[in-house]
Amino acid sequence: MTVSYQGIGASEKIRAMKALVFDSFGDADVLRYREIDEPVLGVGQALIRMKAIGLNFADIYRRRGNYHLVGDPPYVLGYEGAGVVVAINADDTRYKVGDRVAFADSPHANAEYVAVPLDHLIRLPDDISFESASAVLLQGLTAQYLLRDSHRLVKGESVLVHAAAGGVGLYLTQLAKSEGAFVVGLVSTELKRRAVLEAGADLVLLSGSDWVDVGRAATPGGLGFDVVYDSVGITLRDSLRVARMGGHVVFYGMSGGDPAPVDPRLLMDESKSLTGGDLWNVLTSAEERIARSNALFAMISAGKLRVQVAKSFALSDGAEAHRLLESRQVIGKVLLIPG
């Protein structure tokens, strides 16, 4: 394979790089910032010098050992980020050295350099920063498919969003409002309540309150919600209660713990539907990734979607960033910045 390089001599390449790694599962203290071997550039891949990296709860779950990890230690977390192409197969014409790109579903992002399959790369428009791309892609694409694929939202429908101040929740709120929905958010604190109202929600309820009855009463005719987006898990039965007759619950996460089993007779008796959702089932090709991402970028450029970064940390301070995200006091995205 003939490789074109920029800023790295073909004879010297990258002999070592810095990365945020861990060798055993545990709390944030297991994370270490140190040198590891360079990534191996395979056929159909580009080498990306990372400029910004998105931190997600999935990274915490993998660090704890709750999610499966492939390979052997040292483990490198991260699936989302943005940077510049510095090396690529010279025979491939889709991208070139110097291109600004991002990705939402390629592993080992918590490093100075990442080898990314070309099919997973997304070219960045000039007006989309590395930070914005790393803050919006994974969670923004999730919100987008939840409204487009899991439940095709119709103007005027009533929507309940669990964890509405989280990354996906804030984007769900904004996108649902842009489609003309009546949106109610559910949050855990007054500070988060204000943030979701600023994102455009019509009403925001606190999860410690009697939100099922209050939420149902707020819907047209007090009949319940057309669609409920549940990423908490343990709230699934309440989500089904607050959905209207013939309503829809979209289940896409378990941040609060595993849900209790659901008797399918409940779905039959009240003509309700329960759908699971996973982003990886819709990001099935380069064309899908690019088209869906460009739709998000266009909304950002038009001022219809606001990207909110809670805080940026140096990659070397990754353990501190994990602790902040685990505190669940974050409104918006936590970013890691290499170098």
Domain boundaries defined on the chain: 3-124+308-337, 140-280
* ∠ Cα 196 199 202 (to 5°): 70
Dihedral, CA atoms, 121, 122, 125, 131, nearest 10 degrees? -80
Tell whether the model's pLDDT for residue 6 goes beyond 70. no
pLDDT over threshold 60, residue 258 = yes
Give yes or no for a contact between 95 and 101, defined as CB atoms under 8 angstroms apart. Answer: yes
- Give dist(CA 284, CA 55) in Å, integer: 23
At the top level of CATH, the class of 140-280 is alpha beta
Residue pLDDT, tens place only, 273-315: 999 988 888 999 999 999 999 999 999 999 999 999 999 999 9
- Backbone phi, then psi, for 213, in 5-degree steps? -70, -45
For domain 3-124+308-337, the CATH superfamily is: Medium-chain alcohol dehydrogenases, catalytic domain (3.90.180.10)
Give me 80's structure tokens.
Answer: 């989302």
Q: What is the mean pLDDT of residues 2-7?
A: 50
> How does pLDDT run across 70-95, given as a tens digit for each residue?
788 999 999 999 999 999 976 778 89
Q: What's at 290, amino acid-wise? A: I
Runs of H (alpha helix) within the chain: 57-64, 130-145, 167-178, 190-198, 211-218, 236-242, 264-269, 286-301, 318-326
Confidence of residue 108 (pLDDT cuts 50, 70, 90): very high
Mean of the pLDDT values across residues 242-254? 94
Backbone angles phi, psi at 319, to 5 degrees: -65, -40
pLDDT in tens, 191-227: 999 999 999 999 999 998 789 999 999 999 999 999 9
Place of tokens 């949050």: 187
Cβ atoms of 142 and 168 closer than 8 Å = yes
pLDDT at 14 over 70: no
Three-class DSSP category at 253: coil
pLDDT of residue 13: 55
pLDDT class of 11 with cuts at 50, 70, 90: very low
Among 195, 207, 203, smallest CA distance to 171 is for 195
Looking at every residue in the chain, the average pLDDT score rounds to 92
Residue 330 has pLDDT above 80, yes or no: yes
Strand partners, 314: 337
pLDDT at residue 66, as a whole number: 82
| Chain segment 175-193, per-residue pLDDT in tens | 999 999 999 999 999 999 9
Residue with tokens 């409104």: 331
Give the number of residues written for the chain.
Answer: 339
**Does 140-280 match 3-124+308-337 at the fold level?**
no
